């Protein structure tokens, strides 16, 4: 089991690199695109993708998770999963074509019809992706997963940015998404020798396990994309584009850094599930690492938001600053409870995940509708944060109960990152001069870099002091130091 933990740690590092690469390119793309495109362009694409993602999730049975969790999956299981994907994505494309007109009427935006038709082509292509790439995660080959995901993101970047500079409208975003899927399919066959064939031999076995995952995917969609329908309907494409860009930037350092960790630990948890004590220790170790990364990242973004927006996004996006402050804190709270879903899966209780997501989605949709009417876009941001805070003790409490862990063991992992992050926030806000609007672009960038550096140093110092005062206990700090030493040792030797 120690080998599994080491593989999980290496996997987490690789997945963090994956996400850093993906989101780094995504952020660079966004920073370029916001200077070229208007919020309306982002809003039109968000309206279209909210519909297409919904249709895709209705047929997303999580077959990759089923193949990872299965102790000895057969070729029939892989082939059946691939066949289902092909069939489902073709059906999704057909539904997109049929629904494009009614959706354009719902939003009062006729340009959506052509956009959805173009995205339907991408859905057909996506269904052909080689199911064999699941072996990258199942066999803990995270370096190959890193290359696979990065190639797809590079394809999107190299398509979207040049076309945006050329066309200067939303079609560049659409073309980038379709191109990314085409390159992803080609790469999946180039990197993985497995060759699927059409078969439904293991259909009953796959559907029996995956039915809960399909329901959960739809509920997850309601949690993450309900804002597209509510804001798009009530406030229009410009407001929706502003909110989505704010949310992407605000949650980038927290949720998007934690997502690869969760992606890496699922196969590790599956291998640990036979030994409850090992699974308990593994859960606490991963939670400690998530707290170390997520809390500081989200609070840091909230601290620098007033400088970040004018320095990076420009004056056309100044309304994003208060949204980013709120949504960055939402990213912290949400990421701290994201790991529990892996626990529910490996312990054979995906039904718990579905039930908690029902409650989460119901609360969020109700809060969104109410607060958007009262407070506009900031109301939507407060709805996200308030729902995450309300559901956190529910999700964490259920996971601890299944693992038979006391709540004190969980809280003991959080206090040092939380207090260190609070010290960082106060330091940055006190020592960094507020933006007056008269600064040049160069001064804004220098102020932003100074604020980031100050935040990193103040957090590291505060965390180190607290760790030393606690007499260097086992926890996130020691895990990070040990992992970094193992990571750097071979490179130093070479």
Q: What tens digit of pLDDT does each residue of 161-197 get?
A: 888 888 888 898 888 888 888 988 898 898 888 888 8
* Interacting residues of 110 by C-beta distance below 8 A, sequence separation 6+: 104
Specify if 494 maps to a domain: no
Specify if 104 maps to a domain: yes
The better pLDDT of the pair 382, 289 is held by 382
Q: Specify whether the CB–CB gap between 317 and 244 falls below 8 A.
A: no
Specify if 18 maps to a domain: yes
- Structural domain span for residue 191: 2-489
Between 16-20, 366-370, 442-446, 490-494, the lowest mean confidence (pLDDT) is in: 490-494
Distances, alpha carbon 37 to alpha carbons 42, 161, 169, 229, 305, in Å: 8, 11, 6, 22, 21
Specify if 248 maps to a domain: yes
Q: Judge whether residue 21 has pLDDT over 70.
A: no
The pLDDT of residue 317 is 81
225-231 — which CB contacts under 8 Å span 24+ positions? 225/50, 225/53, 225/54, 226/361, 226/364, 226/365, 226/368, 227/368, 227/380, 227/384, 228/46, 228/47, 228/49, 228/50, 229/50, 230/365, 230/368, 230/369, 230/372, 230/380, 231/372, 231/377, 231/380
The pLDDT of residue 18 is 54
Specify if 89 maps to a domain: yes
Specify if 272 maps to a domain: yes
Q: Judge whether residue 425 has pLDDT over 90.
A: yes
Eight-class DSSP state of 435? P
Per-residue pLDDT tens digits for 149-166: 778 878 888 888 888 888
Q: Number of structural domains, the chain?
A: 1
Eight-class DSSP state of 212? H
**Phi, psi (5° rounding) for residue 193?**
-75, -15
């Amino acid at each position: 089991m120690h080998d599994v933990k080491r593989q999980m740690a290496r996997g987490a590092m690789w997945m963090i690199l994956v996400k850093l690469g993906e989101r780094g390119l995504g952020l660079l793309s966004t920073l370029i695109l916001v200077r070229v495109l208007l919020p309306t362009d982002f809003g039109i694409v968000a309206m279209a993708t909210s519909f297409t993602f919904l249709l895709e999730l209705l047929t997303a049975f999580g077959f990759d998770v089923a193949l990872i969790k299965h102790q000895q999956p057969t070729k029939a299981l892989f082939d059946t999963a691939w066949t289902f994907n092909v069939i489902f994505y073709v059906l999704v494309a057909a539904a997109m074509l049929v629904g494009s007109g009614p959706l354009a009427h719902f939003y009062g935006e006729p340009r959506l019809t052509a956009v959805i038709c173009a995205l339907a082509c991408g859905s057909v292509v996506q269904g052909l992706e080689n199911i064999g790439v699941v072996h990258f995660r199942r066999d803990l080959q995270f370096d190959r997963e890193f290359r696979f995901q990065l190639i797809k993101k590079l394809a999107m970047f190299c398509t979207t940015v040049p076309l945006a500079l050329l066309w200067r409208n939303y079609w560049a975003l659409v073309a980038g998404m379709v191109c990314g899927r085409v390159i992803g399919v080609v790469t999946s066959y180039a990197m993985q020798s497995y060759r699927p064939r059409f078969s439904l031999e293991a259909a009953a076995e796959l559907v029996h396990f995956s039915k809960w995952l399909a329901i959960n995917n739809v509920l997850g969609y309601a949690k993450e994309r309900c804002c597209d329908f509510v804001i798009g309907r009530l406030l229009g494409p410009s407001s929706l584009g502003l909110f989505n860009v704010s949310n992407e930037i605000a949650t980038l350092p927290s949720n998007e850094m934690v997502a690869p960790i969760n992606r890496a630990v699922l196969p590790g948890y599956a291998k640990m599930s036979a030994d409850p004590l090992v699974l308990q220790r593994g859960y606490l170790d991963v939670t400690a690492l998530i707290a170390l990364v997520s809390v500081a990242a989200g609070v840091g973004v909230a601290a620098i938001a007033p400088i970040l927006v004018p320095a990076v996004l420009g004056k056309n996006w100044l309304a994003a600053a208060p949204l980013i402050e709120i949504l960055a804190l939402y990213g912290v709270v949400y990421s701290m409870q994201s790991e529990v879903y892996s626990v529910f899966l490996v312990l054979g209780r995906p039904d718990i995940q579905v039930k908690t997501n029902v409650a989460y989605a119901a609360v969020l949709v109700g809060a969104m509708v109410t607060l958007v009417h009262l407070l506009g876009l900031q109301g939507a941001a407060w709805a996200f944060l308030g729902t995450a805070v309300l559901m956190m003790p529910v999700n964490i409490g259920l996971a601890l109960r299944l693992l038979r862990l006391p709540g004190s063991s969980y809280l003991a992992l959080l206090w040092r990152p939380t207090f260190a992050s609070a010290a960082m926030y106060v330091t940055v806000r006190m020592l960094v001069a507020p933006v007056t609007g008269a600064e040049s672009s160069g001064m804004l960038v220098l102020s932003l870099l100074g604020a980031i550096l100050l935040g990193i140093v103040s957090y590291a110092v505060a965390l180190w002091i607290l760790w030393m005062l606690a007499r260097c206990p086992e926890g996130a700090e020691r895990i990070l130091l040990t992992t970094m030493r193992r990571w750097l040792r071979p490179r130093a030797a070479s």
